[in-house]
């Protein structure tokens, strides 16, 4: 464990389960509201916004940095995942969190550990679930384990990964975990591009082209006042097909069941889009009906 005090904030770092648990015992008074922000590192302003929200609404904020192998369906993606530990700590010192935990693989998955498993039903058969089989089982496995280790009162997840938030809320309900899931708005740059560590791989030209996602979502929100979901979806597909991006899918879904909407709207209907700029897979979504 090390204590660091530069700029404004002290951030305690822990690199093993033992260090982490000793720190928790020492630093966190009984009855504190513990806020957890799980991440895979390579932190950017999107992650920072989650940490800020956590700070405002919890007494003790834990950030975990763990690149979880079980949620990757492409091994190249896993081995190429950026590792920027020092920069991550610097960013957290600027924002201020209480404890950052970099667990080792054995801390998360000791030999005797078994995830109980969960049937996610349709949540795992549509969009990211359908295209990346096993991904959400891996996400549930790691988040369940992080919950076991950190005992959070609240856990903060970005709506940028909208389907992930739905899956985690389902898991919490399924296992009746006493944890409040706090969905946090997507952070965007000043032009509307959703922040992501993948944006580093975009050329300046591709960054401009990628704005078509935000434009499509915003136009769909206006169209949703007067058209059916199917009509809005067709226009959105057309808009992206006219651009240089390669469309993977556009769906308009019920925000809880993720069922596709066709003729009728429901409250808080969500449009989810995935498209490629070159070989960079971009994901975005927006609530298009109140």
Residues with a catalytic annotation lie at 47
Q: Does 40 bind ligand AMP (CB under 6 A)?
A: yes
Written as one string, the DSSP assignment of 130-196 is HHSTTHHHHHHHHHHHHHHHH--SEEEEEGGGHHHHHHHHHHHHHTT-S-EEEEEPPPB-TTSPBP-
Q: Considering the complex, what minimum distance in angstroms separates the CB of residue 194 from ligand AMP?
A: 5
Tell me the residue length of the chain.
290
Which position among 12, 35, 36, 39 is part of the footprint of ligand AMP (CB under 6 A)?
39
Q: Taking contact as CB under 6 A, which single stretch among the options 169-177, 192-200, 206-214, 275-283 is the one that binds ligand AMP? A: 192-200
Q: Considering the complex, what minimum distance in angstroms separates the CB of residue 115 from ligand AMP?
A: 18
Question: Which residue's CB is nearer to ligand AMP, number 193 or number 212?
Answer: 193
Number of residues that bind ligand AMP (CB under 6 A): 16
Angle separating helix axes 85-95 and 45-57, nearest 10 degrees: 40
Per-residue x/- track, 103-142, ligand AMP (CB under 6 A):
----------------------------------------
The whole-angstrom separation of Cα 210 and Cα 277 is 7
Q: Does 209 bind ligand AMP (CB under 6 A)?
A: no
Q: Does 157 bind ligand AMP (CB under 6 A)?
A: yes
Name the helix (H) or strand (E) containing 14: strand 10-14
The residues in 242-281 that bind ligand AMP, with binding defined as CB under 6 A, are none
The whole-angstrom separation of Cα 214 and Cα 1 is 42
Q: Taking contact as CB under 6 A, which single stretch among the options 12-20, 55-63, 157-165, 264-272 is the one that binds ligand AMP? A: 157-165
The whole-angstrom separation of Cα 256 and Cα 60 is 29
Question: Which residue's CB is nearer to ligand AMP, number 253 or number 261?
Answer: 253
Which position among 98, 107, 124, 161 is part of the footprint of ligand AMP (CB under 6 A)?
161
Q: Considering the complex, what minimum distance in angstroms separates the CB of residue 178 from ligand AMP?
A: 20
The whole-angstrom separation of Cα 265 and Cα 267 is 7
The whole-angstrom separation of Cα 168 and Cα 74 is 22
Q: Considering the complex, what minimum distance in angstroms separates the CB of residue 158 from ligand AMP?
A: 2
Q: Where are the alpha helices (DSSP H) in 7-84?
A: 17-27, 45-57, 75-79
Query: What is the Cα 48 distance to its own chain's centre?
Result: 12
Q: Considering the complex, what minimum distance in angstroms separates the CB of residue 46 from ligand AMP?
A: 3
Residues that bind ligand AMP (CB under 6 A): 39-40, 46-47, 49-50, 157-158, 160-161, 184, 186-187, 194-196
């Amino acid at each position: 464990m090390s204590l660091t005090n530069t700029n404004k904030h002290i951030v305690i770092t822990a690199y093993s389960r033992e260090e982490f648990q000793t720190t928790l015992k020492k630093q966190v008074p009984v009855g504190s509201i513990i806020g957890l922000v799980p991440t895979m590192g390579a932190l950017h302003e999107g992650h920072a916004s989650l940490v800020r929200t956590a700070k405002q609404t919890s007494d003790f904020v834990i950030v975990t940095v763990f690149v979880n192998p079980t949620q990757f369906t492409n091994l190249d993606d896993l081995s190429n995942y950026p590792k920027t530990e020092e920069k991550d700590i610097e960013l957290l010192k600027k924002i201020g969190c209480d404890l950052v935990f970099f667990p080792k693989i054995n801390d998360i998955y000791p030999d005797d550990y078994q995830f109980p498993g969960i049937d996610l039903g349709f949540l795992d058969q549509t969009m990211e679930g359908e295209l990346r089989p096993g991904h959400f089982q891996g996400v549930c496995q790691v988040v369940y384990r992080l919950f076991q280790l950190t005992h959070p009162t609240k856990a903060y997840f970005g709506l940028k990964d909208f389907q992930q938030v739905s899956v985690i809320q389902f898991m919490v309900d399924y296992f009746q975990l006493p944890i409040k899931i706090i969905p946090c708005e997507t952070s965007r740059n000043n032009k509307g591009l959703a922040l992501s560590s993948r944006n580093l791989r975009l050329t300046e030209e591709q960054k401009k082209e990628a704005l078509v996602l935000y434009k499509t979502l915003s136009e769909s929100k206006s169209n949703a006042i007067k058209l059916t979901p199917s009509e809005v979806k067709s226009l959105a597909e057309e808009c992206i097909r006219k651009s240089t991006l390669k469309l993977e899918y556009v769906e308009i879904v019920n925000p809880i069941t993720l069922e596709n909407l066709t003729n009728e709207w429901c409250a808080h209907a969500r449009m989810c889009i995935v498209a490629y700029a070159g070989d960079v897979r971009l994901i975005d979504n927006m609530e298009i009906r109140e």
